[in-house]
Structure 1
Amino acid sequence: MPTRTRRALVSLSLFFGTCALAGSMLNGRVNAQSATDESTVRDSLHQFTDVYSVVEGNYADKLDTDKVDKVIYDGAIPSMLHVLDPHSNFYDPKAYAQMREDQHGRYYGVGMHIQPQMGKDGVQRVVVIDTFDGSPAYKSGIKPGDAILFIEGKSADGMDSLAVSNLLKGPKGTHVAVQMQREGADKPLTFDLTRDEIPRPSVDLAYFIKPGIGYIHVTQFMETTSHEVGDALTKFGPEMTGLIIDLRGNPGGLLNEAVAMSDKFLSRGDIVVSQKGRSFQDVVYKANHGEQGKKYPIIVLVNRNTASAAEIVSGALQDHDRALIVGETTFGKGLVQTVFQIAENTGLALTTYHYYTPSGRLIQRDYNGVSLYDYYYVRNDAKPADKSNLEVKQTDSGRTVYGGGGITPDEKIESPHSNAFENNLLSHAAFFDYMKHYLAHRSIDKNFQVDDAVLTDFKSFLKTDKVDYSDADFNTNLSWIKMNIRSQLFISQFGANEGFRAAKDDDPQIAKALTFMPEALALEERSDKSKEQRTASIK
């Protein structure tokens, strides 16, 4: 048998063996598979190896090692899992390492976002998009727009982001020399960077968005999320009279962190979420500590990309009438994956449970007969939602809520839809390139505003950069243009967080959400009254 075929068989045998073990675990009976099940697995494996042997022997191109890995890791295994559901997944060694890094929320490196861009000289280079606040790259003075020329004397031309990232990462305390090209500089700049632990907080913004109103932006649920949220609440202190929790675009993450975060806003003993599966016992997660200190109205801002653990928090706070949910109907991911580590640093994320909100709602969206692409990217939001087939539940105070299609907001706020003019500017990286031009020979302070002089300069830059637009386009999108110019300049001058904060200050959805604070206060009062009535009836 050829070496490549043996390698494929080893990979597949390992995977099917792990699936068999996982199946035994899911049935709650280790080594309890029937002979028929084992025979079916052997037959399936045999059929696959027969097909693979034909492919290897007759395919037009020679199957090298990389192509063998793609056949197994990117083809056979993911395809098999996606027949089950959209969220069961297989992680090859690189993806598994990245997943673990994301869950920990930290790594060792220099701390910057990078991506390839085509330079004016026609050479594609990896460019710094922003640096993490407090990171070695930030402290050294590296700026967004700096193009990476050399790393430890090795040319970075033609490298992709992953290759550059791997060279920049390394043990804590080690050095890496990086040469950069900066617009407006007479010659390349060299930085001697000392690698350090790079924390990636899940709460990247926490500040008073207006007097007395705290704002917390949670990007994902990692091992540190509930602790970060607690720190933000402590920082706000007794001066806070209302809170906005922004979960827009939050893809989810660790279930236990979603439970721990919800615990900070609910009453002790309140159900946060329930897990129900075929093989394991049902699990009910409750608030162990409950909200401490005075209560205040809460608004949770969500959109169509709020998913999984973020939906657990949204659903729990909605069902217990603790927060007003504002925005768009969320993604609808109610399947829980257990990650089984497999040999050779690979992992299998297998759906083992469905989760339900405290009122009993299943949040999972229907995926039967839907392609994987359509499930993730094509959702018809133009038509009014048909709730006739959705399960109907009630919150603690008797409000109607719906299950089976994500978390439906109490108050709807549409996400802004980009137009052709906006897409044109973004595709040309107009704001990023203008930032490099504007700051090449000047700086700004935090009182900076985009005035008429800046707008005139931006128009001239667009013409020089051959970006077509009309005066009507420009005037119609003026607020959006100002927000993007100011945000991009702040990212470069003061760091990513200040740039993101500048964008939030001008965010129309946040401005609209703030107008619902009286409704959130009324909901809080309704919740308190409902709890008093339930307590009295028990007595």
Structure 2
Amino acid sequence: MSTRTRRAVVSLSLFFATCAVGGSLVNNSVNAQSTTDESAVRDSLHQFTDVYSLVEQNYADKLDQDHVDKIIYDGAIPSMLHVLDPHSNFYDPKAYAQMREDQHGRYYGVGMHIQPQLNKDGVQRVVVIDTFDGSPAFKSGIRPGDAILTIDGKNADGMDSLAVSNLLKGAKGTHVTVQMLREGQDKPISFDLVRDEIPRPSVDLADFIRPGIGYIHVTQFMETTSHEVGDALAKFGPDLQGLIIDLRGNPGGLLNEAVAMSDKFLTKGDIVVSQKGRSFQDVVYRANHGEQGKRYPIIVLVNRNTASAAEIVSGALQDHDRALIVGETTFGKGLVQTVFQIAENTGLALTTYHYYTPSGRLIQRDYNGVSLYDYYYVRNDAKPADKSNLEVKQTDSGRTVYGGGGITPDEKIESPRANSFQGTMLSHGVFFEYMKRYLAHHTVSKDFTVDDAVMADFKNYLKSEKIDYTDADFNTNQAWLKTNIRSQLFISQFGANAGFKVARDEDPALAKALTFMPEALALEERSDKSRETKTASIK
């Protein structure tokens, strides 16, 4: 057996062993039936060794260490896990480090989103997409569209985003010099940046969007989420008469943070979520503190990409009649993963529980016989939803809700779909590219509006780039074009959140959701009466 074969077998042996005993590292009460049969593991490893040896000896190209790592980390282990379910996953050292960084919600660096792009000369350069508000990059004047030429004197041409990111990150207080190329500038611009802690807030927008109506946008659930939501509610203060919680596109995250956020809107003792698994004790999470102060109507805005921990919050508030759920049926992820750390900073996210909403709904979507691509990206929204085979439950006040296949909204709003003209504009990245051209010759103030002169200039830009369109398409989509132009310019000049706010204020789905505030108020009043009746019957 060659050295590489032995190394591959050792890697898989360690992985299988972790699968077998990992539960005991987290909970000592693992059922004895969960122990993997050692002879079966040995047989599996022997078969893998035979297959791997044949590949190593006979494959057309010589296998180097990168090939070995890909066979194990990108092939054998992920394939085994995906046979189980779509959400069990393996993290190699780079992915594991990124996952931990995302959960913490902060890191040390300069604070910007970057992406590799090919320039007109065919050279790949990493370009700034946006900078984080208040970060060293933001404060120094780096702006979207700037292309990174060198980092501490090292040529960055041809680098990918990960390589550039690793050079930009470092200990707090250390310096890094970045040379940028900016459209409209004859010479490169040099920035001396001092690395700092870069917070990644999960609540990026929290303000009043109407008199008395607060808005909170939660992007994901990480270690600071419930604290950030609490800060937003405190900022609203006694003026808050109604609330919209926007969970559209929220992929989930930490379960305990979803529970802690739900706690802020429920009554003390209310069930938030239950989880049940084969090898672990069932767990019921409840609101430990409950809502403080006055109650107000709540709308939770969701879409097809609202998933996992975000569905826990949506389901809990719906089942307790605390919020009106508005939007599209959510993703439908009712599986809970426990992350087991393996040697060499790798991690195994293994499904260990199913979770259930307070009414007892399992909202996991069926994944049997479905490819990973179809599971994540293909949803047949054209057909009306067939609810005949879905489990039927009731909320606290007796409303009907459904399990299996996501959280069904109380009021349906379709997310806007790009038409062919809009798709063409987005595929060419016209707003980002036009922003660079416009700001090379103009400045933008906070009272800037996209007037006829800007639209005429934008038309000339499209013609210069040979992007086909008709005058009819252009005129029909003028409102959409103006919103996107203004949003991208604001991202560059005033920060990402300022640009996001422009887009939000022109969001038709959000505008429609606001019209359901009377229904949310009626639901809250119904919930109050239901609780009063139950309290009286107990007495």
Give the shorter-chain TM-score range.
Answer: over 0.9
Closer/same/farther in 2, CA of residues 215 and 338 from structure 1, 3 Å limit: same
Partner residue of 1:64? 64
- Matched AA of 1:142: I
Partner Cα distance (2:499, 2:209) in 1: 14
Asked if structure 2 preserves the Cα contact closer than 8 Å seen for 1:26 and 1:352, the reply is no
Partner residue of 1:171? 171
* Aligned-residue offset at 1:14: 1.0
3-state secondary structure, aligned to 1:139: helix
- Matched AA of 1:18: T
Partner residue of 2:525? 525
* Aligned-residue offset at 1:281: 1.1
Partner Cα distance (1:361, 1:25) in 2: 30
3-state secondary structure, aligned to 1:407: coil
Asked if structure 2 preserves the Cα contact closer than 8 Å seen for 1:136 and 1:194, the reply is yes
What pairs up with 1:212-223 in 2 under 5 angstroms?
212-223=212-223
Partner residue of 1:399? 399
Asked if structure 1 preserves the Cα contact closer than 8 Å seen for 2:20 and 2:34, the reply is no
* Aligned-residue offset at 1:124: 2.2
* Aligned-residue offset at 1:25: 6.2
- Matched AA of 1:101: E
Partner residue of 1:238? 238
Asked if structure 1 preserves the Cα contact closer than 8 Å seen for 2:365 and 2:404, the reply is yes
Write out per-residue CA displacement over residues 475-517 of structure 1, whole angstroms, 9 at most, x where no aligned residue. Answer: 2222211111010000001000101111100111111101111
Partner residue of 1:458? 458
* Aligned-residue offset at 1:29: 5.6
Asked if structure 2 preserves the Cα contact closer than 8 Å seen for 1:129 and 1:145, the reply is yes
Partner Cα distance (2:245, 2:22) in 1: 37
- Matched AA of 1:533: T
Write out per-residue CA displacement over residues 97-153 of structure 1, whole angstroms, 9 at most, x where no aligned residue. Answer: 000000000011000000012223432211000000000000100010000011111
What pairs up with 1:336-375 in 2 under 5 angstroms?
336-375=336-375
Partner residue of 2:442? 442
Asked if structure 2 preserves the Cα contact closer than 8 Å seen for 1:26 and 1:280, the reply is no
When structure 1 is superposed on structure 2, of 436-445 and 217-226 the one drifting more is: 436-445
Partner Cα distance (1:121, 1:182) in 2: 16
Partner Cα distance (1:59, 1:283) in 2: 49
Partner residue of 2:280? 280
Do residues 420 (structure 1) and 420 (structure 2) align? yes
Partner residue of 1:534? 534
Partner Cα distance (1:175, 1:124) in 2: 25
Partner Cα distance (2:429, 2:133) in 1: 23
* Aligned-residue offset at 1:36: 7.8
What pairs up with 1:91-102 in 2 under 5 angstroms?
91-102=91-102
- Matched AA of 1:13: S
Partner residue of 1:42? 42
Partner residue of 2:8? 8
- Matched AA of 1:155: N
* Aligned-residue offset at 1:361: 0.4
What pairs up with 1:15-414 in 2 under 5 angstroms?
15-22=15-22, 32=32, 37-414=37-414
Partner residue of 1:478? 478
TM-score by length of 1: 0.98
Write out per-residue CA displacement over residues 218-241 of structure 1, whole angstroms, 9 at most, x where no aligned residue. Answer: 000000000000000001111111
Closer/same/farther in 2, CA of residues 217 and 459 from structure 1, 3 Å limit: same
The alignment yields a C-alpha RMSD, in angstroms, of 1.4
Closer/same/farther in 2, CA of residues 36 and 382 from structure 1, 3 Å limit: closer
Partner Cα distance (1:165, 1:102) in 2: 15
When structure 1 is superposed on structure 2, of 203-212 and 119-128 the one drifting more is: 119-128
- Matched AA of 1:51: V
Partner Cα distance (1:28, 1:365) in 2: 31
Partner Cα distance (1:45, 1:424) in 2: 50
- Matched AA of 2:106: R
- Matched AA of 1:474: F
Asked if structure 2 preserves the Cα contact closer than 8 Å seen for 1:28 and 1:279, the reply is no
When structure 1 is superposed on structure 2, of 278-287 and 441-450 the one drifting more is: 441-450
Closer/same/farther in 2, CA of residues 52 and 33 from structure 1, 3 Å limit: farther
Percent identity for Structure 1 against Structure 2: 85
- Matched AA of 1:282: D
* Aligned-residue offset at 1:538: 1.0
Partner Cα distance (1:536, 1:31) in 2: 43
* Aligned-residue offset at 1:22: 2.4
* Aligned-residue offset at 1:31: 10
Asked if structure 1 preserves the Cα contact closer than 8 Å seen for 2:34 and 2:279, the reply is no
3-state secondary structure, aligned to 1:190: strand
3-state secondary structure, aligned to 1:448: coil
3-state secondary structure, aligned to 1:114: strand
3-state secondary structure, aligned to 1:122: coil
- Matched AA of 1:422: Q
Asked if structure 2 preserves the Cα contact closer than 8 Å seen for 1:21 and 1:30, the reply is no
3-state secondary structure, aligned to 1:467: coil
Partner Cα distance (1:155, 1:210) in 2: 49
Asked if structure 1 preserves the Cα contact closer than 8 Å seen for 2:179 and 2:189, the reply is yes
Show structure 2 runs of 5+ residues with no match: none
How many corresponding residue pairs?
Answer: 539
Partner Cα distance (1:199, 1:395) in 2: 38
TM-score by length of 2: 0.98
3-state secondary structure, aligned to 1:317: helix
- Matched AA of 2:212: G
Asked if structure 2 preserves the Cα contact closer than 8 Å seen for 1:319 and 1:359, the reply is yes
* Aligned-residue offset at 1:299: 0.4
Do residues 501 (structure 1) and 501 (structure 2) align? yes
Write out per-residue CA displacement over residues 229-266 of structure 1, whole angstroms, 9 at most, x where no aligned residue. Answer: 00000011111111110000000000000000000000
Closer/same/farther in 2, CA of residues 46 and 158 from structure 1, 3 Å limit: same
Partner residue of 2:429? 429
Partner Cα distance (2:169, 2:229) in 1: 28
Closer/same/farther in 2, CA of residues 154 and 476 from structure 1, 3 Å limit: same
* Aligned-residue offset at 1:186: 2.1
Asked if structure 1 preserves the Cα contact closer than 8 Å seen for 2:112 and 2:137, the reply is yes
When structure 1 is superposed on structure 2, of 221-230 and 454-463 the one drifting more is: 454-463
Asked if structure 2 preserves the Cα contact closer than 8 Å seen for 1:26 and 1:279, the reply is no
Partner Cα distance (1:61, 1:252) in 2: 42
Partner Cα distance (1:525, 1:48) in 2: 62
